[in-house]
A and B are shown apart, each in its own frame.
Chain A
């Protein structure tokens, strides 16, 4: 069974930089997994930040960027702001029209 792994929680200071990661229990994440990243606050629908590894969705500030770091996908947030406090999810394309979401990372800005 494919499991996509994310840090359960992370904290960052206002103005700081944080890197959230997205891994695979079965091996390395690559651009062939087309990693995407979403931000969600309680009671709201997810908002797309990054798709296909590093393409920024419309209207997303360039403080948010995506990449592959080592064997994981990464979401890098620079200049963290109070309203970045959210849960962040990644999703990976596994194979044959199958996608799997990670469990999410709850980011605290303090």
Chain B
């Protein structure tokens, strides 16, 4: 069965960096695009970033563009999110999610359990 396990969250000071990882299993990771989605405490879901199966196409929400970088290592079945210049408003649970079957427009289908990032001085 599909499993996605995020790690790397924690408490970090404003302006610092953090890298999240998402270990995938139970499906052929290398043929699916992947999303990152976050949820601030008590708030709704916010789409963050997407990466194609081969890593050649990516995009970001305006709120993180220029600060966050999504990447993947298909040999390790792992997705990453490098977060730089972190702000208080980046505090959230970060979920990685496999893209549903379909084309570039596919939304998330399977989700990890999330990892909490707290940006605080």
Interface residues of A (CB under 8 A from B): 32, 34, 36, 38, 40, 45-48, 51-52, 55, 57, 87, 89, 91, 93, 96-104
How far apart are the CA atoms of A100 and B102 in the complex, in Å? 18
User: A109: shortest Cβ distance to chain B, in Å?
Assistant: 20
Closest to A55 in B: B100
Interface residues of B (CB under 8 A from A): 35, 37, 44-47, 50, 57-59, 61, 95, 100, 102, 104-114
**Can you show 22 pairs from A to B with CB atoms below 8 A apart?**
A34-B105, A34-B107, A40-B45, A45-B113, A46-B45, A46-B95, A46-B111, A47-B111, A48-B108, A51-B102, A52-B106, A87-B44, A89-B44, A91-B47, A98-B47, A99-B35, A99-B47, A99-B50, A99-B107, A100-B47, A102-B44, A104-B45
List A contacts of B111 (CB < 8 A). 45-48
CB–CB A93/B108 < 8 A: no
Give the residue of B50, B105, B114 whose beta carbon is less than 8 angstroms from that of A45: B114
Closest to B45 in A: A101
**Known contacts A36-B100, A97-B57; A51/B47 CB under 8 A:** no
**Known contacts A45-B95, A52-B100; A93/B107 CB under 8 A:** yes
How far apart are the CA atoms of A101 and B37 in the complex, in Å? 10
How far apart are the CA atoms of A100 and B62 in the complex, in Å? 11
